[in-house]
């Protein structure tokens, strides 16, 4: 996604989890470290009040069978995205968790 945005001369703000490592080639972009499960107050403002959020932040993968997805991830993601929309986010694109594409065979 970042490479495609760069190709179109768009410099994205990268929302990354606190433990994530951003590849060196993307260090030129602004990074906002936010824990999806425990977001800070005023997350929308911390992101710079974006016109569009492309959500690719589902956690707990590739452990597709974990109850974490239903018990923690889904409610937290819903609360956070709902709050962003209520705070003024006009456009939201949410990608799937990759499970809908099928799991790859064990290696």
- pLDDT per position as a tens digit, 61-81: 666 677 767 788 888 889 999
Looking at the structure of the chain, the number of domains it has is: 1
Give the domain range for residue 80.
Answer: 2-101
What pLDDT sits at residue 51? 95
User: Could you tell me which of 21, 23, 1, 22 has the C-alpha nearest to residue 12?
Assistant: 1
> In this predicted structure, what is the pLDDT of residue 17?
87
* CA 26 to centroid of chain Cα atoms: 16
Supply the pTM of this predicted model. Answer: 0.77
Q: Dihedral sign, CA of 21, 10, 76, 35?
A: positive
Per-residue pLDDT of 24-61, as tens digits, reads: 999 999 999 999 888 999 999 999 999 999 988 776 66
Whether residue 9 lies inside any domain: the answer is: yes
Domain-embedded: residue 28: yes
In a domain, 42, yes or no: yes
Nearest by Cα to 30 from 38, 19, 22: 22
Distances (CA, A) of 88 to 21, 37, 56, 62: 29, 20, 20, 32
Q: What is the largest CA-CA distance in the chain?
A: 44
In a domain, 106, yes or no: no
Residue 107 lies in a domain: no
């Amino acid at each position: 996604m970042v490479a495609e945005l760069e190709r179109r001369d768009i410099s994205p703000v990268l929302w990354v989890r606190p433990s994530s490592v951003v590849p060196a080639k993307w260090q030129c972009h602004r990074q906002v470290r936010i824990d999806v499960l425990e977001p800070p107050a005023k997350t929308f403002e911390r992101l710079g009040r974006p016109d569009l959020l492309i959500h690719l932040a589902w956690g707990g993968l590739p452990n597709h069978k974990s109850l974490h997805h239903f018990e923690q991830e889904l409610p937290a993601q819903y609360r956070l995205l709902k709050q962003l929309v209520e705070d003024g986010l006009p456009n939201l694109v949410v990608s799937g968790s990759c499970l809908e594409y099928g799991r790859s065979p064990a290696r």
